[in-house]
Structure 1
Amino acid sequence: MTADDLHDFYRAYIACLNRQDWPNLHRYVGEAVRYNGASIGRDGYRAMLIGDFEAIPDLAFNIELIVAEPPTVASRLAFDCTPVGTLFGLPVNGRRVRFTENVFYEVREGAIRSVWSVIDKAAVAAQIRDA
């Protein structure tokens, strides 16, 4: 894939997540995907995403930045949401929070093979503390 192809692929992947279109996740995520170094497979990855949407019913992945250098895509995602209980071990309990995620993907043969994610949990903690 070219850098432009990766941009388009990534935007389509994020749209798939935002639609919660789990039957089509295989179009973007490889069977043996790794997440932060752990081999969780596509089924584990899907379960993780479903759990995220259960914990955050109004979850939406908002792309702030995409940088592509094949086979890698780097993105900064922004979230403005209302988790129902705990989030990252923090008692959010229905309060609106904003945070970001910096995430890197390795895309090979048309599928995400590895994901490395760093979420700004400190931003959530500060909003809970200051509420």
Structure 2
Amino acid sequence: MTGQELAALYRGYIACLNRQDWASLGSFVHEEAHYNGKRIGLSGYRTMLEGDFRAIPDLHFAIDFLVIEPPRVASRLLFDCTPVGELFGLPIDGRRVSFTENVFYEFEDARICNVWSIIDKAAIAAQL
């Protein structure tokens, strides 16, 4: 897969998340997916994302920048949202917050098989 093809695939994945098109998630995420070193599989990945959207009803993934080196993608994602209740152990209680996620993906058979994610929780805490 070329860098351009991988970039297009990744953008399709982000669009899938933003549509909450869970039926299509398997087109982008491998059945044996790992998240931060733990095997969660496709079903666990979907459960995680559904929980994210429950906690943050207006969640929207915005790509700030991409670095593509097949079979890997590095992305900085931007979030400007209004979580309900707590988020990452912080009492948000409906306040609007902005934060970033630096995330690295590894693809196998044109699907995400490994994800390593770091969310800027300090940026959220500073807004409270």
Q: TM-score, with normalisation over the residues of structure 1?
A: 0.97
SS at match of 1:17: helix
* 1:61 aligned partner: 61
Pairing 1:16–2:37 present: no
Letter in 2 for 1:14: I
Superposed CA RMSD: 0.4
The alignment status of 1:87 with 2:87, answered yes or no, reads yes
1:1-131 equivalences in 2 (<5 Å):
1-128=1-128
Give, in angstroms, the shift of residue 108 of structure 1: 1.3
- In the alignment, residue 75 of structure 2 is paired with which amino acid? S
Letter paired with 1:4: Q
1:84, distance to aligned residue in structure 2 (A):
0.7
Deviations 1:68-106 (A, max 9, x none): 000000000000000011000000000000000000000
Deviation at 1:54, TM superposition (A): 0.2
Q: Distance in 2 between matches of 1:110 and 1:64?
A: 22
Stretches of 4+ moved more than 6 A in 1?
none
Structure 2 residues without counterparts, runs of 5 or longer: none
**Structure 2-normalised TM-score?**
0.99
Q: SS state of the match for residue 6, structure 2?
A: helix
Aligned residues: 128
Percent of pairs identical after alignment?
65
| In structure 2, distance between residues paired with 1:50 and 1:89 | 18
Encode CA deviations 1:6-42: one digit per residue, 9 max, x unaligned: 1000000000000000000000000000000000111
User: What is the deviation of 1:123?
Assistant: 0.3
Structure 1 counterpart of 2:38, one-letter code: A
Q: Which runs of 5+ in 1 are unaligned?
A: none
SS at 1:83 equivalent: coil
- 1:99 match: secondary structure: strand
